[in-house]
Structure 1
């Protein structure tokens, strides 16, 4: 099945359930959601009662042509802009005549209603401008002409059910049946979506992606440009989609994008189950979805974290209604121009496979959290920001900004890696490691997040390329010279912080932090420089017990480094030095390590 088929399945499911808390409701066939400006109140006989401003999204009935109208006059079926409801010049008279003829056709059908009769009788009087001026609701442009785009909606006082036509579901059902009967007169042909012979749509809905209101997923064929010429003789030969299929699919996609889509850099990332199964979001960490509205459990061991991930997978699987063929659809939309909406990526995955892919990514792309208490997986967006973003404000919380073009492309790449189990992109890993090797450029909070996320990325990268499951506990005898040099850097940093204590001087960066970027390139050379500074300025400020403790630790690290040939001592460090730096630093700040230091 393709996107439109899955969207139709979604539409039928959504119609069968009651959704009350969504940001935007699901539109019936032959209706659109638009923004109202003024609500006009009339009685059942079509007499004016009053009007008021109504700044809200409303559902209104439309025709196929009016739903995608541009400059040509194509009136909606009931609620419309003021230029279709009044007659004050030749152009408006022609537009109003079209509106009245259309409304009269509905009245004369088997699906008429007293509400539309009342509206017809009122509009026929041509008194709307006078009535709105009387109530001081008529907005004028700077040249004192009428603002023709004011959207008018109706409230028929005294009618059955809900008096506002944009809330009356019974009236909406009547119009849908009326218009589908009318559409049956269109040319029938094979629908590419359903495979049945049905009346085809000549135009398709626009505005399914609110950031690009005029962008269409399927453009209308025209006879003046080159939409189909050169490939087909007639425009109908290019593609044939029935009106009903087009309406269902586009309205379902609009609902999904508005209520569930994630917008990044002007691109919409969407993942959903057409059968309505509850699934974790493809953009978020698995555990964040599992414990969305509850307190996260404390997970400080990698084994416990893996157990929790497995429990989360089993929990989702146990709640599936369709245990066999349930699918997850992943769709990524982007508007290349203001009039064209592109489907950038599309994928269908069985739910069981989908859950396993998320679990496997989160199992290896994980590290200690911001406060170093819980193990967690960073979101795709956070990896993107800290790999390519720039910190604009180093005070307070700090804010990392990234350009829209880079963010949407990188997020898309990482999402495909996560869902298709592809190797982690080497360039993204290199970029975030390069940023984490210049921690002194960032504010304190950003620095911590950057280091945590970088370690998670390194761990994932090493698993993908070398099948190495990086331990998340300090390995003092690890046979990795970069790892050991990272440990050494953390020790020198801790010595200086302990020596400076809580004085104001401690607010400055340590020498170890300032030298980090050059230390990575010539580690032994700058380790000797730091050692001289420790001997000259900082060991003298510590009590003898701490000096012995730190010297013993430095000696142990140097003995591990001495196991490698001297020719490797000044080679540029690999990414694993950040793991050694983080884990040694974490160990130095734990209660157990501090007790050992005191002894």
Structure 2
């Protein structure tokens, strides 16, 4: 029950946000309320007369906060369970059947709806707005008024038109409803002509409290709440619409009393656990709000990181660009950066978050997914001290660190950053850009313990990234460059101790072979000029990783025409080839497959060479 308690406490800590409508799909809902997509807005006068109506064509404006009972929140099939105020035509229109509306239930939906609304109106908590709407609806002429307003349309027999058959002049109602007109959802408000502006019913905090107070008196049976430890009115019906307004999956459900639900252990669901209505409502509403506000959803799987106080914290699904500092935007400064320097910059950013900490601050990590349309499960949950969480984030971004220069999307300007790649980008490096969301979400979940608990990166992810980075043939340049930098970050995390700045002192065999390959690549690319064909270094890269000594002989032979084409400029590269080659011990110059370190040497050597953009810098090195 820990995640429920943390969500409940988050709701209690953000009561000032309840009901704030900002045009988002999901606000922090009041208890006993939910959201629905409305299709028609009906305005009535304070005296209970029809004022006007319109079809809601703006999808953002259509999301409406509505009061809801336990039954109406989970209604399905042929169950008659009206919402207390706003609802579909079959519930709110007393003349629904007069115009061909079909009712497939034994009970009349309008009768149940209007009696339920009457009970609210007659309570001491009813507002004038509720009374005005009730006074109008009890006349039973809503459909007639909507037809007169040309909101609802009839066929030649005076019955509800099922669909618009013409190509031209399509009325708005047929564009906003998924089915026929009878499925339209109607919301109500009161329009007082004497006022310049009226508070919309679904945005009025007074209306929220009116229904909450009224409905709370209907909840009588109390049980021990397993979350708070108090005896409170309990519920067996828990919220759905967790990920979006069409989501039917529930986190808590025990409505199947047949078959093997309890496996002979219990006679009813209360023997398993009881959760109070108040806790269930607040926890689920907080979860919906947080997911909409800051959750990441991949193929239906939710990855959510939050603190009760909602102070900003780095997300485990973000990359190192969230710690971007001014120096790394400048390529000349990026080349001289060391792992110690980069780590210091990230540490400073983390310290900025820590400076805002209060005693007892927590960070919660929650992963949700549903195997069926009706059931959802908690796949991962951790509640951590915020200081500990920030230390783990710092450890991840200072150990799985490399220079990245890829776009987040094709329309975004390249902004270099130093740090760890995002888990989703790791999936890109391991499985390619065409990896399905199902594969991506599984990898992201597997990476969470690596970030939060410091576990080793799974070997299969390391190998896959390494092999793809070693095989640039068949990839576009941007795809390979992105794969290469991410693979380097993962290998650096696994091997440890390297930075983007070239390590000229190391005599590690694999690192040196990588440097040789980079020099050959840049030499040939320099000779090719505007010719964009792949260099021999890249073409043979995969073979080079498996048989470095043998393949290097082939690459060096293929370099000769390009060395001749460069003229005097080639001496710098030749000198560098000799310098690096001489560091490889004779017994190490063999065909033993290279480890991931060769990619680090390749990247760092190539990166340094590309900084030498003018003849003067090269000639200075020669001298």
Would the TM-score normalized by the shorter structure come out above 0.5?
yes
Aligned to 1:396: none
* Correspondent of 2:421 among 378, 401, 419: 378
Distance 1:373 1:595, change over 3 A: farther
For residue 36 of structure 2, give the secondary structure of its aligned residue in structure 1: strand
> How much does 1:534 deviate?
2.4
* Correspondent of 1:42 among 38, 41, 44: 44
Q: CA contact under 8 A between 2:491 and 2:597: conserved in structure 1? A: yes
Distance 1:295 1:586, change over 3 A: closer
Deviation readout 1:132-169 (Å, 9 max, x if unpaired):
11222126424999633211101212299944311221
Aligned to 1:118: 132
For residue 582 of structure 2, give the secondary structure of its aligned residue in structure 1: helix
Distance 1:128 1:34, change over 3 A: same
Q: Which moved more, 1:477-486 or 1:76-85?
A: 477-486
Equivalents in 2 of 1:446, 1:217: separation in Å?
39
2:592 is the counterpart of 1:554: no
> How much does 1:225 deviate?
4.0
> How much does 1:295 deviate?
9.7
Equivalents in 2 of 1:495, 1:202: separation in Å?
71
Equivalents in 2 of 1:304, 1:580: separation in Å?
19
Distance 1:458 1:212, change over 3 A: farther
Aligned to 2:374: 339
Q: CA contact under 8 A between 1:266 and 1:404: conserved in structure 2? A: no
* Correspondent of 1:512 among 537, 553, 556: 537
Aligned to 2:172: none
Q: CA contact under 8 A between 1:30 and 1:61: conserved in structure 2? A: yes
Deviation readout 1:31-77 (Å, 9 max, x if unpaired):
00111110011112221122101241110101111011111110000
For residue 39 of structure 1, give the secondary structure of its aligned residue in structure 2: strand
Report matched runs for 1:147-546 at 5 Å.
147-158=181-192, 162-183=198-219, 185=220, 187-210=221-244, 213-228=247-262, 230-285=264-319, 287-290=320-323, 300=334, 301-302=337-338, 303-320=340-357, 322=358, 324-370=359-405, 374-389=417-432, 400-463=433-496, 469-502=497-530, 506-535=531-560, 537-543=561-567, 545-546=568-569
Q: CA contact under 8 A between 1:332 and 1:344: conserved in structure 2? A: yes
Deviation readout 1:248-289 (Å, 9 max, x if unpaired):
11101010111110112221100000133332222113x533
Aligned to 2:610: 589
2:112 is the counterpart of 1:98: yes
> How much does 1:369 deviate?
2.5
> How much does 1:10 deviate?
0.6
* Correspondent of 1:68 among 46, 68, 74: 74
Aligned to 1:392: none
Distance 1:492 1:217, change over 3 A: same
> How much does 1:224 deviate?
3.1
> Given the two structures, how large is their TM-score scaled by the length of structure 2?
0.86
Equivalents in 2 of 1:158, 1:483: separation in Å?
78
Q: CA RMSD in A?
A: 2.5
Aligned to 1:84: 91
Q: CA contact under 8 A between 2:4 and 2:283: conserved in structure 1? A: yes
Q: CA contact under 8 A between 1:546 and 1:597: conserved in structure 2? A: no
Q: Which moved more, 1:428-437 or 1:115-124?
A: 115-124
For residue 339 of structure 1, give the secondary structure of its aligned residue in structure 2: coil
Equivalents in 1 of 2:3, 2:135: separation in Å?
44
Distance 1:90 1:360, change over 3 A: closer
Distance 1:210 1:472, change over 3 A: same
Deviation readout 1:393-427 (Å, 9 max, x if unpaired):
xxxxxxx2321111001011112210111111111
2:10 is the counterpart of 1:10: yes
For residue 363 of structure 2, give the secondary structure of its aligned residue in structure 1: strand
Equivalents in 2 of 1:105, 1:29: separation in Å?
19
Equivalents in 2 of 1:374, 1:224: separation in Å?
57
Which ranges of structure 1 fall in alignment gaps of 5 or more residues?
390-399, 464-468
> How much does 1:476 deviate?
3.5
Q: CA contact under 8 A between 1:7 and 1:248: conserved in structure 2? A: yes
Distance 1:540 1:583, change over 3 A: same
Distance 1:113 1:73, change over 3 A: same
The number of equivalent residue pairs is 571
Distance 1:512 1:229, change over 3 A: closer
Distance 1:60 1:444, change over 3 A: same
> Given the two structures, how large is their TM-score scaled by the length of structure 1?
0.90
